[in-house]
Amino acid sequence: MLGFDSHCHLHFHDFDKDLTEVIERSAAAGISHILIPSTDVKTSERSADIAEKYSLYSAAAFHPDHLPDDSTADEDWSSLKNVLLRPRTIAIGETGLDFYHNTFKPEKQIFWFRRHIQLAESLGYPLIVHSRDAESEVLDHLPEKPPVPVILHCWSGDQRLTDVAVSRGYYIGVDGPVTYKKNGDLRSVVSSVPRKQILVETDSPFLPPEPFRGRRNEPANTRLIVMKIRELQGGSESIESTSFTLWENAMRAYRLHPENRRADVVYRYGDSLYVNVTSKCQNSCIFCIRNTADGIADYNLRYTQDPSDQLVLSTIKEFPVEKFKELVFCGFGEPTLRTQLIMKASAAVRARGVRTRLDTNGLCTSFMNEDKVLELLSSFDSVSISLNASGAREYNRICPSEVENSWEHLMRFIRLAGRSHIETQLSAVKNSGADIQRVTALAKRLQMPLKVR
Ligand code: SF4
């Protein structure tokens, strides 16, 4: 069975003593995926740690009952965004409104809710929404045509509000209470939701389904909620089939499904931040990581469709780039294929006092004149050029290219980099079959430093 517990607070201390056993039990019960939502910076970091350790996924946000103090709001918001840079932190949540606990004034809750909505839209991240005694109000603030998936966690809106939510394409999170005897209205609502918009979630350690009420909830109990959803949706298909539908729904809701999979526009590597602008490249290098993987270090970098200029620029704008040594324009492909975008983005980053570097295969002289290439180079603080060979024959063998005379273009680009006085480094890959001694000698003749990776 494939199962997805789409909302499970494994970060809470209730799981400190037996977290590994809880996750093992859920795997034995067929739960292949778990999303851990969070409530503030600390829990977002803990959720990210658990997600990375156990190959799960997490979300980061301020819960409406755990909003930052006004005196540290900016700093806390920036720290939260920093967590969103972690490779398995793939959604924003849970945010929303809670007029039952009313821990904070409605105006403050609404301010933070709207802030999270805007951030989700800027980054293209799914949004997980908490609502308690505020179902109508959350719908008032959410966009009618959301550009990102919206997940109404543990939804308890009435039929009218549910119809509105469903018509806008939101996902409806269904939890343990659907199994409670007194909740006939909730069951009626759940039976009306289109199959493809339902998510199953345990909200562990809270809300255990029958017959475990009064005990700590855990993701292995997902199956009990799936069984109830199956019954409410007609009960004609197998439990495995219902579970698979719900798994696929969650994969879509969290943009993990091949149909709408999100690739990471930015990722951390060492003390630098990398910007992934394209999956296209003119070369097919024999050592290219794209031949064997979809990304690095748990980041998904392969685009099915390259990101819009707007998404790249708004992502860079949102993230705290000042915390990094430099911002590197690269790609799971060749960044100079998006010349205008990287020049514009680099200017925006440098205006914030952060150094930028361009990592390139050096073939852009095949489609740009020398003046344009010099203008491009002047947009960055440094450039790293993939040399990879000591001559045309070796280059064509190791880095076959659709560009005619690719080696000559590469040499022309290197000469232009020398002329532009930009800080330049050449690079070559070990064990690629290149004669590294001869590559080193060539770099010396070109009077440029060589990094052998
Ligand atoms: S130039 Fe870079 S991205 Fe393109 S194929 Fe070679 S290694 Fe891969």
Q: Whose CA is nearest to atom 7 of ligand 1?
A: 288
261 domain-assigned:
no
| 331 CA closest ligand 1 atom index | 3
| 429 CA closest ligand 1 atom index | 7
| 283 CA closest ligand 1 atom index | 5
Q: Are residues 240 and 380 in the same domain?
A: no
14 domain-assigned:
yes
Q: Where a domain ends, among 221, 253, 285?
A: 253
Distance from chain centroid for Cα 155? 24
Q: Are residues 225 and 98 in the same domain?
A: yes
Q: For residues 433 and 215, what is the distance between their CA atoms, to the nearest angstrom? A: 61
Distance 289 CA to ligand 1 centre (A): 8
Q: Where a domain ends, among 219, 253, 287?
A: 253
What CATH number is attached to the domain comprising 406?
Answer: 3.20.20.70
Q: For residues 154 and 159, what is the distance between their CA atoms, to the nearest angstrom? A: 15
Q: For residues 420 and 219, what is the distance between their CA atoms, to the nearest angstrom? A: 58
Q: Are residues 37 and 8 in the same domain?
A: yes
Distance 94 CA to ligand 1 centre (A): 38
Per the CB < 8 A criterion, the answer to whether 34 and 83 are in contact is no
412 domain-assigned:
yes
Q: Are residues 69 and 94 in the same domain?
A: yes
Distance 348 CA to ligand 1 centre (A): 26
201 domain-assigned:
yes
Residue 191, token pair as written in the block: 């039976």
Q: Are residues 111 and 183 in the same domain?
A: yes
Run means of pLDDT, 10 residues per run, the chain, 453 residues: 94 97 97 98 98 98 98 97 98 98 98 98 98 98 98 98 98 98 97 97 98 97 98 93 97 97 96 97 97 95 96 97 96 96 98 98 98 98 98 97 98 97 96 95 97 95
Q: Where a domain ends, among 204, 222, 253?
A: 253
Q: Are residues 351 and 430 in the same domain?
A: yes
pTM to 2 decimal places: 0.95
298 domain-assigned:
yes
Distance from chain centroid for Cα 121? 12
For 68, the 3-state DSSP assignment is coil
Q: Quote the pLDDT of residue 107.
A: 98
| 281 CA closest ligand 1 atom index | 4
Q: Quote the pLDDT of residue 331.
A: 80
Q: Are residues 19 and 47 in the same domain?
A: yes
Enumerate residues lining ligand 1, CB below 6 A: 281, 283-285, 288, 290, 333-334, 361, 386, 399
Q: Quote the pLDDT of residue 235.
A: 86
Distance 238 CA to ligand 1 centre (A): 46
Q: Are residues 51 and 183 in the same domain?
A: yes
Mutation probe of ligand 1 site: the residue of 277, 280, 281 with most atoms within 8 A of C-beta = 281
Distance from chain centroid for Cα 251? 13
Q: For residues 259 and 228, what is the distance between their CA atoms, to the nearest angstrom? A: 28
For 57, the 3-state DSSP assignment is strand
Q: Quote the pLDDT of residue 2.
A: 85
Per the CB < 8 A criterion, the answer to whether 168 and 146 are in contact is yes
Please name every residue paired with 258 in a beta bridge, in sequence order, or none if there are none: none
As for how many domains the chain has, the answer is: 2
Give residue 436's domain range. Answer: 266-452
Q: Are residues 108 and 133 in the same domain?
A: yes
Mutation probe of ligand 1 site: the residue of 290, 364, 384, 388 with most atoms within 8 A of C-beta = 290
